[in-house]
Structure 1
Amino acid sequence: MSTASFPPGTAPIKTEFLLSNTLREIPDDDAAEGSTGHANGRNSNFSGEGGSTGPQRGKLSKEDRKAKRGANKGRRFQKVRDDFELCWKIASGKDCEFGAECRNTHDIDAYLSQKARDIHFPSTSELLDSPPFVKPRPDAEMIDAQSPSLDFNTICPVYAVRGECKHGLKCRFLGAHVRKGEDGRSWEMIKDEEKIAQSATTEPELNFIDAVTLKQLRTKKYPHPITDAYLKELQSQPAEKNVKDNDGLDGIDGNTPDTLPNSEKNDIAQVKDNDAPNNETSHPDTPDVPLRPEEKRLNWSGKTYLAPLTTVGNLPFRRLCVDYGADITCGEMGLANSFLNGSKEEWSLVRRHPSEKTFGIQVAGSKPSLLVPTAEILAKEFTGTVDFVDLNCGCPIDLVYRQGSGSALLDAAGKLGKIIVGMNKALGEIPLTVKLRTGVKDGRNNAHKLMPRLACEWNVSALTLHGRTRQQRYSKLADWDYIKECIEAVRAKEEELNLSPIPIFGGGDAFSSEDYWEKVTLSGADGVMVGRGALIKPWIFTEIKEHREWDISSRERLDLIRKYAEYGLNHFGTDTPGVNTTRRYLCEALSFQYRYVPIGLLEVLPGRLNDRPPAFRGRDELETLLASGNSQDWVKISEMFLGPAPEGWTFTPKHKSNAYGSEESQG
C-alpha cells in the first residue's frame, strides 16, 4: 500500500507506517473558530450555543433554529469542586470573619481526611516513550496517618517556581508545601523566601483590573473624557456630509444597501441607527488628524507573531509558544461591549505573563461609542504593560458579523475611519494595529483599497491581512498573490506621501519554516502571523527562526504537554477547580496537536497544513498515542500530569468530527 494510490491532498506517509487506506475525518476549523468561551462561560450571544458555528449558508428556518438550539451543550464545562469544601480563608491561614456561620467547613482535619489524594506532577526525566509513559512511583510516605491524602514526595508546580502557593490547604499538590506544626496538631505552610524574591519580577501576571474599577464600569461611572470630547466632535459635524460617506458602502467595493441581501441591509441599518446621534443619519467622515507620531512606530522586522486565537490562545498556550520562539503575542479577542459592562471574564483576557516580550490586546466592536471608550480604559489602566491594541476587522463568526463587528467593518470604511481615529486619540502612546481579511464575499475583495487608507490616512501602526474572505472561512487556501497586491498598494501610498513604512504581516496556511519564508519572500510581508500552524505544532517558531524542519521526538512532545500543564496550573490554580480548568484547556490544545504528522514518517517534506493523513502508526507507542483523534485518549494524556479526571468528566472537542464513542451522543 502506497500513498501514491490516495487522492490529491493526502499526506505522503511512508508505506511502513500505514495502517489502512482510510483517510482521517477533516477537522472542522470553521466550527473551532465559530465557538467562543472561557472557563466560566461568556456572554451567551457569543458562546456558539444555539448559533451557527460554521459559515452561514442562508437564513435558518424556525425549525432549523430549534433543532440547533443547545447543540453545543456538551461544551458547557462546569467547575469541578471538592466534595467537602474548606473555607478558603482558613485554607490560606487567615481568620474567617463569618466564624461558625461560614457556609464552608473550618475543620481542617476533617477536610484533609476526605480530600482527594495529592497529584504527582512528573519531571522531564520521568517521561517515557512506552507505556505507562510516566515512570511509576512507589507509594509515597504519608505525613500523617489521619491525612492519607498527603504525599510528602509530590511537587507543586506553583510552589516550585514561586516559593509559596496561594491555594494553601486546598492545593492538590499540598504535600510539597505543608508540615505539621510544633504542637503536632496544626498545619503550617512552607515558604521559600529566596524563591519568592526571585519570582517577584519573573512570575506574577500583569494587567489585573481591580474590583473598584469593575464596579465603576458596571455602574457606568468610569470617566472617559477623551471619548466624550471625540464623540461630541463627531456629532457637531455638518449633517449633509453624512449622505456622501454612507459609512463607506458606496466607495470601497461598489456595494450599496440596495445590492445587499435583506439580512445584511437590516444589520447595516441597525448599526447606523445605533451610531447616529438622536437617530439622525450616521456620523460624517473622519476628521483630519496629524501624522502618526514617531513614538507609536513599531519595529517588528524579523519577529515571529502568534495570532490571537479564541479560547485556545490563552495565557498558558502563549507562554508555551514564547518558549519555542514566538516574539509577538496577542490576547484572545475581547468584546468592547463586555469590557464596558465590567465583565470579569472578558477582562481576564488581557492578562499578560512577563515572558511575553511584545504583547497586545485585541478588541472587537461595531461603533465609535463602544470602541473608543474601551481604548481609553485600556490606556488608562495598562499603559506600560500593553505594547499595542489590535482592532479585529476579520472575525467571520456570524453573531459577531451580524452586530456590525469583525469583518463587517470591511464594508463600512467611513465608520471604520471614525473608530480608528478615535481609538488612536484615546490610546495615547499605545500603538493601534488592525487585523483584517481580504473582503467579506468571494470575488469582492476590497483590502487593497482599504489598507492604504488604514496606514496613511488613519495612521494605524501595523496591519495583518488574513488571505481569505469572510465567506471562505477555511474552505480554500489563503490568497498570497492578493496579499502581495495589498502590501504593494500600501507601500506605494507610503512612498507617495513620504511616510515611513509600517509593519505588514500576512496570514494563512503557514505550517513549516519553508512555508513561512517562501510566503515572506513572495509577498514582501514583514512576517507571517501564525495561527493554526502554532496550534498543531507550537514548536513552529523554533523552525522558523532556525530555518529548519524539526523532526521532534515523541518524548519532546510529551514534555511540551507537561510544560503546558505546568503553565495552566500556575495560571488557573492548583486547587480542584484550577486543576480541572487546566485539564479542559489542555484537552483543547491536544484536539489540535494530534493532527501533527511527524516529518520522519513523510516521504516528502515539509508537511502541509491541509493534507489529510491515512490511518498510521508512529515510530513508538507514544508517537502513536499522540496521533490519536479519540478525545478519550486526550483525557488519558491529561491524567499523566493532572491526576485522574473526576468521575463522569468528559471532553467534547470544538471540532465535532473528532468526537468518538460516548462523545458522539453529546454533540
Structure 2
Amino acid sequence: MTSIYPLGTAPVKPEFLLQVNSGQSANVPDDDAAEGTSSHVQDRAGAGEDERSNVGPSRKKRSKAEKKAQRGANKGRRFGKIRDEVEVCWKVAAGQICEFGDECRFTHDIPAYLAAKPRDIRIPDTTQSLEVPPFIPPQDFVADAEYPSLDMGTICPVFAEMGECRFGLKCRFLGGHIRKSNGALEMISDTEKRAHAAISATELNFMSPEALKNLRTKKYNFPISSAYLKEIQTAEEKGKDTTSHAAAAATTENVGDDLPSTAIETIAERTGETATVTQVDTPDVPMRFNEKKRLHWSGKTYLAPLTTVGNLPFRRLCVAYGADITCGEMGLANSFLAGSKEEWSLIRRHPSESIFGVQLAGNKAATLVPTAETIAKECAGNVDFVDINCGCPIDLVFQTGSGSALLDTPGKLGKIIVGMNKALGEIPVTVKLRTGVKDGRNTAHKLMPRLSTEWNVGCISLHGRTRQQRYTKLADWEYIKQCVAAVRGKEEEENCPAVPIFGGGDCFSSEGYWSVVENSGVDGVMIGRGALIKPWIFTEIKEHREWDISARERLDLIKKYAEFGISHFGSDTAGINTTRRYLCEALSFQYRYIPIGLLEALPGRINDRAPAFRGRNELETLLASPDSRDWVKLSEMFLGPAPASWTFTPKHKSNAYGVEESQG
C-alpha cells in the first residue's frame, strides 16, 4: 500500500485531518532553541540579543553589519517584571517592622494595598476538567466582606508544600493562609509541614551573599586552582609538554610557533582560526584518580541539560514522571566567577532530584577550574557531578571557543578536565559532546577513549550529530555504536573500569529508546527534545509502553508545572508571571505532540511534521494549537488572567502573544 503522506509527515488518521490553504507554509520550529544561547541572565533582566552577545568569554564590540545579521523575530526577546500597581513593603507584607519607617519608598498602608491588589487566584482541581469549553468549570470565589480581593477558598501552593508562605500579603493566594484575629490579619503557619518541608521540599545550593561578594571583588580564594595553574605556567615556561596531565591549564593561548604544519592546517580548516599549542592533540601521560566516585548509571533515565526550558520546575516535572538523572541549565564559567547572582541560581536543586549535576561552558582551564573549585566548596554534598558542555552548536558559544568548539581542541580539553578533576575532589566530571564539528569529519571516536582512560571522566554523553548538522538530519546511531566500541576496547586494553556512556538524538518513544540501547551498546539515552515535547516519556521508558495520554492527563501535567513554578519563582505577582512565561516556553514544545491514538502507525517520530489536525475532543485540539495566544489561555486556567502589559515572544517562530498590543 502506497502512503498518502509525504516523506517526513506524521501519519495522522484521515478522520482527524483538517483542510488548509494550499499556499500555507508549514511552520518548522528551530530546535536549536532547546540548546539555546547563554541568554538566561539577560532574558530575566530584559536585555536584548545585542546586549547578550557581550556576555561570556568574548566582549568584543560588534559592527553594525554583525548586529543586523543577528536581528530577527526571536533575537531580542524581552521579559520585564510585572509588579503590583501599589507595592507594599516586603517587611510589612511579612508581618515584620520596616527599619525605614515613613521614609520607606513602598507603602505600609495594608488596607490601601489590599484594596488595589488584584483578586486572589485559585488553581482548579483538574479531576473536574471538561473536554469541551470552558474546560475548567467556574470556581466559586469566597470573598471576604472587608477585603474583596481575598478568596478564602483558595489554596496557596507554597503554603501547601512548605507550611508557610514567605510572600505574606503579596501572595496571590493570600486567602489560603490568612485569618482574622481581633480584627487584624494574621498569617497561618503549619509547624508539622514546615518540619517536613525542611527535609523534602527546601531547594538546595544557594550561594551566600558573602561568597558572591568575594567573587565580584576578586577576593575569593582558589588554592587548588591557583596551584594547578601555576604549575602549568611553570611547565610552559620551561618548554615542557603543556598537554600532559601534570601541566594542564590553558593560561597561554598564542604560543604555537613550533606546531607541526599539518596540525595547524587541520585546526585552522575546522575552526577558521590560527591554531595554538593548546589545540594540538599530542600524547598525554595517563593519570588515575582513585578517590573519584564511580557513577553507576546503567539503566537510569537522563534528562538532558536544556537552556531556559530546563529550569528547576521543568526538571521537577520530569522527575515526577520518572527521570532519574537531571542536570541544571548551561552556565558560563566567566559569569560564575564574576559572582552573577542569576548564573548561580542555575545550580539550585530540588530535593526530589536524586542525581543532580551542574553544566558549565567555557573555553579555558583558567576559568573552568576555579568555577569547579567554587562549586565543590559552596555546594558540598549537593552536586553529584559537573558536566562540561562540548556540544552546544550555537554561534555565540562556538565562536568564543566554548561548547562544540572544544571538540577541535583536545589538548585544551584535556587540561580543563584534569584541572576540574583536581578542583572537584570526589565529585566526578562528565562530558557532553557531539560527533564532530563539520559534516563528514566525525572525531568523537578518537576523543572518547581518551576521555575515559586518560582524563578519567565519570560519564560520556554523545549527541549523534555534528555541530554543523544542528537538527537537520537524523542522529547517527551507527556512529554512536562505533564510539562505544572504541571506548570499551580502549578500557579493556588499559584495564580501566568502564564509564557509563549515554547516546542522544531523536529518542521519542519507549520502543525507540530500548531499541537503540540494545543495538548501540550505550548505558542509556540522554533525552532532550523528546522530554520537552512529552515529559511523560520517562514513564513510557520505565514501563516499556507507549502511553496514549489523554487531554485531561496532559492538563494535569500543566497544573503540576504551574504549581512547581509558583513554588520556585514565587506566589506574588512577579513570580506568577515569571511562571507564566516559563509555562508558555514549555507549551511551545508540548503543542507539537501528536496523540498516538491519532496515528496510523506507531511509534511516533520526533522529526515528523504534523499535518493540520484536530484532536479527539476540543481540549486535545487546544493543546495542539501552534498559536501562542492559546498557550497563554492555558496558563490563565491556572495562573489567572495575564496582565494587559504582559507579552510573550516564543523562541520558535510563531504568533507572539501581545505583539499587537505592544505596537499600539
Q: 2:115 aligns to what?
A: 113
How far apart, in 1, do the equivalents of 2:460 and 2:266 lie?
Answer: 31
Deviations 1:385-432 (A, max 9, x none): 110000111111111111111111111111111111100000001011
Q: 1:29 aligns to what?
A: 31
Q: 1:175 aligns to what?
A: 175
Deviations 1:143-183 (A, max 9, x none): 233x211111111111112111000000001000111221x
1:18 aligns with 2:17: yes
Q: 2:158 aligns to what?
A: 158
Contact 1:164/1:192 (<8 A) preserved? yes
How far apart, in 1, do the equivalents of 2:418 and 2:46 lie?
Answer: 31
Task: Give unmatched runs, 5+ long, in structure 1.
Answer: 53-59, 276-281
- Secondary structure of 2:357 counterpart: strand
Q: 1:636 aligns to what?
A: 633
Q: 1:76 to 1:189 in 2, by over 3 A?
A: same
Find the partner of 1:260 among 268, 272, 275.
268
Q: 1:44 to 1:456 in 2, by over 3 A?
A: farther
Contact 1:241/1:285 (<8 A) preserved? no
Contact 2:243/2:283 (<8 A) preserved? no
How far apart, in 2, do the equivalents of 1:244 and 1:390 lie?
Answer: 21
Find the partner of 1:212 among 192, 206, 210.
210
1:419-568 correspondence runs (5 A)? 419-568=416-565
Following superposition, the deviation at residue 260 of structure 1 comes to: 2.6
- Secondary structure of 1:464 counterpart: strand
CA RMSD of aligned residues (A): 2.9
What TM-score do you get using the length of structure 1 for normalisation? 0.91
Q: 1:283 to 1:340 in 2, by over 3 A?
A: farther
1:182-201 correspondence runs (5 A)? 182=182, 184=183, 186-201=184-199
- Secondary structure of 1:212 counterpart: helix
How far apart, in 1, do the equivalents of 2:643 and 2:41 lie?
Answer: 17
1:96 aligns with 2:104: no
Q: 1:548 to 1:488 in 2, by over 3 A?
A: same
Deviations 1:464-520 (A, max 9, x none): 001111111111111111111111110000000111100000010000001111111
Q: 2:248 aligns to what?
A: none
Contact 1:20/1:614 (<8 A) preserved? no
How far apart, in 2, do the equivalents of 1:599 and 1:35 lie?
Answer: 32
- Secondary structure of 1:468 counterpart: strand
Following superposition, the deviation at residue 142 of structure 1 comes to: 2.0
How far apart, in 2, do the equivalents of 1:252 and 1:436 lie?
Answer: 26
How far apart, in 2, do the equivalents of 1:592 and 1:435 lie?
Answer: 23
Following superposition, the deviation at residue 124 of structure 1 comes to: 2.9
- Secondary structure of 1:75 counterpart: coil
Q: 2:250 aligns to what?
A: none
Counterpart code for 1:208: F
Find the partner of 1:346 among 327, 343, 349.
343
Q: 2:385 aligns to what?
A: 388
Counterpart code for 1:635: V
Following superposition, the deviation at residue 43 of structure 1 comes to: 9.4
How far apart, in 2, do the equivalents of 1:430 and 1:372 lie?
Answer: 13
How far apart, in 1, do the equivalents of 2:567 and 2:51 lie?
Answer: 30
Q: 1:143 to 1:660 in 2, by over 3 A?
A: closer
Counterpart code for 1:187: L
1:257-406 correspondence runs (5 A)? 257=265, 260=268, 264-265=272-273, 288=285, 290-293=287-290, 295-406=292-403
Contact 1:40/1:78 (<8 A) preserved? no
How far apart, in 1, do the equivalents of 2:129 and 2:577 lie?
Answer: 22
Contact 1:306/1:326 (<8 A) preserved? yes
How far apart, in 2, do the equivalents of 1:602 and 1:331 lie?
Answer: 34
How far apart, in 2, do the equivalents of 1:71 and 1:338 lie?
Answer: 27
Q: 1:91 to 1:224 in 2, by over 3 A?
A: same
1:127 aligns with 2:135: no
How far apart, in 2, do the equivalents of 1:608 and 1:173 lie?
Answer: 41
Q: 1:627 aligns to what?
A: 624
Following superposition, the deviation at residue 290 of structure 1 comes to: 3.7
Contact 2:281/2:409 (<8 A) preserved? no
Aligned residues: 643
Deviations 1:265-301 (A, max 9, x none): 16x66xx7xx8xxxxxx99979746413264211001
Following superposition, the deviation at residue 35 of structure 1 comes to: 3.9
Counterpart code for 1:417: G
Counterpart code for 1:167: F
Q: 1:570 to 1:298 in 2, by over 3 A?
A: same
1:603-614 correspondence runs (5 A)? 603-614=600-611
Contact 1:39/1:77 (<8 A) preserved? no
Q: 1:631 to 1:252 in 2, by over 3 A?
A: farther
Q: 1:196 to 1:62 in 2, by over 3 A?
A: closer
How far apart, in 2, do the equivalents of 1:44 and 1:285 lie?
Answer: 45
Task: Give unmatched runs, 5+ long, in structure 2.
Answer: 55-61, 245-252
- Secondary structure of 2:431 counterpart: strand
Following superposition, the deviation at residue 363 of structure 1 comes to: 0.4
- Secondary structure of 1:201 counterpart: helix
Contact 1:264/1:402 (<8 A) preserved? no
Contact 2:74/2:650 (<8 A) preserved? no
Counterpart code for 1:256: I
- Secondary structure of 1:390 counterpart: strand
Following superposition, the deviation at residue 4 of structure 1 comes to: 3.1
How far apart, in 1, do the equivalents of 2:76 and 2:161 lie?
Answer: 35
Following superposition, the deviation at residue 128 of structure 1 comes to: 2.1
Q: 1:55 aligns to what?
A: none
Contact 1:375/1:423 (<8 A) preserved? yes
Contact 1:466/1:506 (<8 A) preserved? yes
Counterpart code for 2:11: P
Deviations 1:59-102 (A, max 9, x none): x9954633644754662100000010000000001111111100
Percent identity of paired positions between Structure 1 and Structure 2: 66
1:6 aligns with 2:12: no
Following superposition, the deviation at residue 625 of structure 1 comes to: 0.1
Following superposition, the deviation at residue 41 of structure 1 comes to: 3.0
Q: 1:84 aligns to what?
A: 86
Q: 1:278 aligns to what?
A: none
1:234 aligns with 2:232: yes
Q: 1:254 to 1:44 in 2, by over 3 A?
A: farther
- Secondary structure of 1:437 counterpart: strand
